[in-house]
Amino acid sequence: MLWMKLRLGEIGERGIISELTPLFSKPEHVLLGIGDDAAVLKLGENMVVATTDMIQSDTHIPPQMTPHQIGKLVVTVNYSDLAAMGAKPLGILVSMGLPPDMLEEDLISLAKGIEEMATRYGGCMLGGDTKNSPRLTLAGAALGVPYNKQVFTRGGASPGDLVGVTGQLGLGAAGLETLLRGLDPKRFGSAVKAALEPEPRLLEAELLASTGAVTAANDVSDGLAWELYEISAASGVGIEIWEEKLPIPSVVSEVAGELDIDPLELALHRGWDYELLVTLKPGKTELVQQLLEERGYKLSLIGHVTEGDVIIIHTKKDGGGEETGVLEPRGYEHLTSTSRASRLGAWKNRD
């Protein structure tokens, strides 16, 4: 048999994970390993949640992002994983690959951004490493503990559970498109702010954990559609959602109109939203929504969990009425030619 030698760009990030996962062991103290937003380790009678995420210039960071915002971003992408697990941050380690021509004042500003975001939610900067690098590279590793003794996972959803999402969808992607496609950032200011200064939903995670209502969870940084499929696969269930219930703000539709694309593309597939996607026990949804609303947060119920393994979306037809179809399992993925990273790199390297 002839074996094809595939390049990583042909496999994609998720294919790489599938190939590598069987190579690694899982000792008894590892309660949850590769395959969720974070790992969960047993430490005596307690649990520690650990995650890591990396950002790079040229592929992840819009040119309009300041060093201070970059520092906050590397914490946000890691703390968002803790939020998706229902975990309170203890702190973060950040290893830095630094270009020799980087200005000292920019490094100081970046470090202050790390400190600001790391401490905002009760954690701190724990340390890291510094190395020479041709491009700015920041690799974070965050540690946390469960807010309410048990972590959230992707694998606990059951038929009959309701599906909810915090905040608004599509803002981050709309902001990135505004910046990368030369639209007026002042006109679409709320979207640009969401792109340049995303926040991990840790406060919402703490409230959700206190209710005991969450059966499965994910963050939607890679796009709502893909995160729905991850919960579906991990839980062995199907999901049904409705377009009219998706919390898509008007600015997302306005940006989409300027670019002649469907707002659902931004809300479902492009990612860069750091909201929480959760499935909830049906008898507790009113309690959950009321609790979040009392604290100034929003949880939209967008559908429910079903039998099977298909994700159905009900969309609005142009002439009125409703259309039903299978939601395309597509989202942001590293190492692919259509990824946001590739598009950002191509934009930065244009003539």
Q: What is the CATH number of the domain that holds 178?
A: 3.90.650.10
Q: Is residue 140 part of a domain?
A: yes
Same domain, 66 and 113: yes
Same domain, 188 and 283: yes
- The pLDDT tens digits for 53-101 are 999 998 789 999 999 999 999 999 999 999 999 999 999 999 999 999 9
Segment holding 132, helix H or strand E:
strand 125-132
Residue 9 lies in a domain: no
CATH number for the domain spanning 125: value is 3.30.1330.10
Domain boundary among 146, 178, 211: 146
End-of-domain residue from the set 103, 119, 146: 146
- Provide the domain limits for residue 241: 162-340
Tokens matching residue 238: 């199907």
Domain count, the chain: 2
Identify whether 21 is part of a domain: no
Confidence of residue 118 (pLDDT cuts 50, 70, 90): very high
Residue 93 domain flag: yes
Kindly state the percentage of the chain with pLDDT values over 90: 77
pLDDT in tens, 82-92: 999 999 999 99
Domain match, 199 and 322 both: yes
pLDDT digits (tens, 9 = 90+) for 290-299: 999 999 999 9
One domain for residues 125 and 210: no
Q: Residues 6 or more apart from 189 whose CB is under 8 A from it?
A: none
CB 201 within 8 A of CB 289: no
- 142, 265: one domain: no
Please provide residue 294's backbone torsions phi and psi, each rounded to the nearest 5 degrees: -65, -25
Phi, psi of 70 (to 5 degrees): -65, -40
Asked if residue 17 is part of any domain, the answer here is no
**Does 203 lie in the same domain as 106?**
no
